[in-house]
Amino acid sequence: MWLLKLAWKNLWRNRSRTIVTQSAVFFAVLLSVTTNSLQDGVFDHFIRNMVSFYSGYIQVHKAGYWDQQILDNGFEQNTGVENTITRHPEVVSVASRIESYALASVEEITKGCMVVGVDPQGEKAITQLHAKVISGDYFELDDHRPVALLSEGLAKRLKLQVHDTIILISQGYHGAMAAGKYRVIGLVRFGSPELNEQLLYLPLSVAQEFFSAEYLVTSKVLSIRSDKKLERIAQEVQQAIGEGYEVMTWKEMMPEVDQHIKTDKGSMYIISGILYLLIGFGIFGTLLMLMAERKYELGMLIAIGMKKQKLVVVLLMESVLNVVVGCLAGMLGSVPVVWYLYVHPIRFGGELADVYSRFGFEPVFPASTDVWIFITQGIIVLIMGFVLSLYPMITIWRLDAVTAMKK
């Protein structure tokens, strides 16, 4: 205990030196937390944008539907299944869809499109479809009118405007003939060119009537509280609803996007490694300065009879106290910085902003407020500080008292 008291007194015997050492650790933690918070925030923002285009975080289908996406592989709109899904504490909302392809015709122009029957309220909550309307109106809450929302690209290909009429021809459930005439009430814009060229939305009941598939849906789209638990939630929902259904995450439905994110994260790990290297050199440089200043003092202590083992313990305690205080201060100091970047994300302009806007992304770099970022980065810098603290111990073991006290 007396060695700990001695280490604490030594720290504040030279306040400026202690403050410099702790400041090095403080800024290391601050820089590390802020960098990783921005990194995670950017990826979370990207994923949120991607899943809000169309897929949602999780979808439920009849088993085998994803391999053969036809109406015959749909399932009855069962309230029991939906209630089972919504009972999961991490599931926020569920939206039903019926999807199939059709020919859209306007006078002499005919184009293929994907017809998506949606629950207006559910789709509004999960994919923010209402926010993508650039012209006209969104569906009513419980819409049964023969009306349609067209993606902007499809409308241009068909030379359609709001309030025009479109004719759809397709094959319905069990081979039934499907045909209908619908009034365009609005145009929607997607960031994905693929979606923007082919999607046509109908109210769910209207689409079911068009396909002669009353009460049939092809998928249920789930909104969840946290994507950090994505795989676990999918597994638990699968267990709850049974083998007759398949539960797929956005990673399974869009593997190319998942691979792109993993590749980008790999490059960010390299940047993080370089950052930790710079942080390590910063802390080590401070320790070098500290040992150079205390060389005479340490040599004198050894000369008057203090054992090197006890001196090593004292210096180790000093280093540990410096690193712990610096890390705690850095973690606390990074909270307002990260919160500010979360509330006021970094915005960028120019051509890059135009590209982001065209793809439906807000041109911002938001920060993530995940508490584990603060904890993990604090622990990483703490471990680095402990490892670098071995340098003073090695120096003490090699120290010659007479040489150290020479001016």
User: What pLDDT score does 25 carry?
Assistant: 80
pLDDT score for 358: 60
Q: Residues 47, 60: one domain?
A: no
Q: Do 17 and 73 fall within a single domain? A: no
Cα Dmax for the chain: 104
- C-alpha 399: how far from chain center: 51
Q: Are 294 and 367 in the same domain?
A: yes
Please name the residue that has the structure tokens 């030196």: 17
Give the whole-angstrom CA distance, residue 269 versus residue 25: 21
Residue that terminates a domain, selected from 198, 223, 253: 253
Residues pairing with 98 in the sheet: 117
In the chain, % helix, strand, coil (3-state, to 5) comes to 60, 20, 20
**pLDDT on residue 1:** 64
Beta strands in 232-305 (DSSP E): 245-249
Distances 302 to 58, 90, 257, 358, 394 between C-alpha atoms, Å: 67, 62, 62, 70, 15
pLDDT along the chain (407 residues), means of 10: 65 72 81 85 77 82 89 84 87 90 90 92 86 90 90 90 92 88 91 80 93 90 85 91 89 81 75 78 73 69 71 74 83 90 78 61 76 86 80 72 63
Report pLDDT for 247. Answer: 92
Question: Do 266 and 230 share a structural domain?
Answer: no
Same domain, 238 and 316: no
- Which candidate, 213, 241, 236, places its Cα nearest to that of 79? 241
Please give the Cα distance from 38 to 370 (Å, whole number): 11
Which long-range contacts link 138-142 to residues 24+ away (Cβ below 8 Å)?
138/186, 139/185, 139/201, 139/203
Residue 31's Cβ-side half-sphere holds a number of Cα atoms within 13 Å equal to 17
Same domain for 116 and 27: no
Is there a single domain that holds both residue 365 and residue 293?
A: yes
- Among 196, 194, 99, 108, CA closest to 150: 196
Q: What pLDDT score does 353 carry?
A: 61
CA distance 301 to 207: 87
Residues 244 and 96 in one domain: yes
Residues 300 and 387 in one domain: yes
Number of domains composing the chain: 2
Residue 381: per-residue pLDDT: 81
Query: Interhelix angle for 371-388 vs 308-343, to 10°?
Result: 150
Q: Residue 3: what pLDDT?
A: 63
User: What local confidence, expressed as pLDDT, does residue 50 receive?
Assistant: 73
In this structure, the number of other CB atoms found within 10 A of the CB of residue 354 comes to 11
User: Which of 213, 231, 253 is a domain's end point?
Assistant: 253
Residues 90 and 138 both lie in one domain: yes
Whether 205 and 113 share a structural domain: yes
Residues 244 and 273 in one domain: no
Containing structural domain, residue 10: 2-51+258-405
Domain boundary among 226, 253, 280: 253
What is the length of the chain? 407
